Amino acid sequence: MRTLLFLGIFISGQFTVFAQQDAWIYFTDKPNASTLLLNPINILTQAAIDRKTNHGVTIDERDVPVHEPYITQIKAATGITYLAKSKWFNAVHLRGSEIDINNLMTYNFVAEIVFAKSNLNTQKGLVQDKFSRVSSCMVIKPYGYAIWEKMQAELDRMFKETGHQNAYFPLFVPKSLFEAEEKNAEGFAKECAVVTHYRLQNDPDNPGKLRVDPEAKLEEELVVRPTSEAIIWNTFKGWVQSYRDLPLLINQWANVVRWEMRTRLFLRTAEFLWQEGHTAHATKSEAITEAKLMNNIYANFAENFMAIPVIQGVKTESERFAGAEETYCIEALMQDGKALQAGTSHFLGQNFAKAFDVKFANSEGKQDYVWATSWGVSTRLMGALIMTHSDDKGLVLPPNLAPYQVVIVPIYRNKEQLAEITTQAEVNMKSLRAQNI
């Protein structure tokens, strides 16, 4: 009896694309804004008005809801399913074919169409097809997370080969530390999530519900890290005393929170996964060399592991990382002709060292401030992966990142034949796994 064994070798996973797509439609104006602002109670609750007034926040056009007649016309459009209106932007969320959605540009009140492109992300289970119950946060499914783990493992190997070590720092940053480096604090202030209380209690006015305990207010607010320079440099102060302690080469794998309002899966979410490197050096030239080295590592990783062509460059002053003297970057060109920032490496000068008083005794015994860098890539690279290696027929993963490269399919007539084939299949499976396949 012949045993048949079929080995299907998949260089990648093929994703089926559904015709329906999600998109945000941004409108040109709010025609009724000036009238509604004359009496804010028409658009805001009294509690919201009081809250803004108490904090000196101006009630303006941003508080005016999307113009309902625009929504009515969108709902009536052919092939369009209306989903929701934005609370923060003059836009609505809808679903339809790309052709039907693009036809909406014929309306004179439509300013811009932004496709969510979540269809490619979801068909093979990379990410949940909509944001989670937590606003603007995504759920990465096992298949998608397996891709991130492969990316993480290769980057971690590259970091360690260049002398870097992993550590972990607190998620919460005291506000006083966060604001120590003024440019960095100013750059991230509008994106910060802030913890003000430490306890809940039963709500006496609503049985079975909870409320924030008004007596549990923190003495100092805690910022949920949008980046970790503040907490890390406060820690470095105790780690560095002498030039013998340098260079200090630290990397952290973590999550961060930046309260984004205009979100897209993988590319821009309120919470995302990343690595952030933070290094301290005795000289300016060493720090600049480190920043350029890490940018080269990112470029090498993107091109040779992810098969994504990138261009290395230097950011303009307006695009520079808040608190940096120079920002080096890799930019990937997407199929729609737009560039995607895929990774950045920053030369921080002595700004953070001075802000947190991180000094060292040099070889001559004199005190000096250290020179610093920081650098990072995030799950945005998964968005770059999808947009680079997909077309209208789906996504094809590079072999390095495909969670499965080989599928063994037994072909049999009866249970006895299946048992025999399974034995051989397990032998082949062990052989393939021994080769990291």
Q: Per residue of the chain (437 residues), what is the pLDDT tens digit?
A: 333 444 333 333 443 333 577 888 989 888 887 887 788 887 777 877 777 777 677 787 777 888 889 999 999 998 899 998 877 678 899 988 878 888 898 899 998 887 765 444 544 567 775 666 777 888 898 989 999 999 999 999 999 999 999 999 999 999 999 998 888 888 888 899 999 999 999 999 999 999 999 999 999 999 999 999 999 999 999 999 999 999 999 999 999 999 876 778 888 889 999 999 999 999 999 999 999 999 999 999 999 999 999 999 999 998 999 889 999 999 998 887 888 999 999 999 999 999 999 999 999 999 999 999 999 999 999 999 988 988 767 788 898 898 888 888 888 888 888 889 999 999 999 999 898 88
* Residue 12 within any structural domain of the chain: no
Do 177 and 50 share a structural domain? Answer: no
- What pLDDT does 416 receive? 86
Do 325 and 262 share a structural domain? Answer: yes
- What pLDDT does 1 receive? 36
Please give the angle made by the CA atoms of 96, 102 and 107, to the nearest 5 degrees.
110
Give the CA distances from residue 219 to residues 176, 181, 198, 215, in Å, rounded to whole numbers and listed in that order. Answer: 11, 21, 10, 11
* Residue 284 within any structural domain of the chain: yes
Do 172 and 94 share a structural domain? Answer: no
Do 44 and 151 share a structural domain? Answer: no
- What pLDDT does 115 receive? 75
| Residue position matching structure tokens 């102060």 | 237
Burial of 57 (0-12, 13-18, 19+ CB in 10 A): exposed
CATH number at 384 reads 3.30.930.10
- What pLDDT does 2 receive? 39
* Residue 353 within any structural domain of the chain: yes
Do 171 and 263 share a structural domain? Answer: yes
Do 373 and 295 share a structural domain? Answer: yes
* Residue 219 within any structural domain of the chain: no
Distance CA 53, CA 299 (A): 49
Among candidate residues 74, 101, 117, the one where a domain is terminated: 117
Residues 6+ away with beta carbon under 8 Å from 298: 310, 330, 342, 343, 345, 375, 377
Distance CA 207, CA 210 (A): 8
Residue pair 348/280 in contact (Cβ under 8 Å)? The answer is: no
Distance CA 122, CA 2 (A): 41
Distance CA 22, CA 95 (A): 4
Do 146 and 107 share a structural domain? Answer: no
Do 112 and 148 share a structural domain? Answer: no
Give the CA distances from residue 287 to residues 156, 168, 180, 225, 375, in Å, rounded to whole numbers and listed in that order. Answer: 20, 22, 22, 24, 12
Q: Which domain holds residue 354?
A: 142-191+226-388
Q: What's the domain count of the chain?
A: 2
* Residue 10 within any structural domain of the chain: no
- What pLDDT does 61 receive? 79
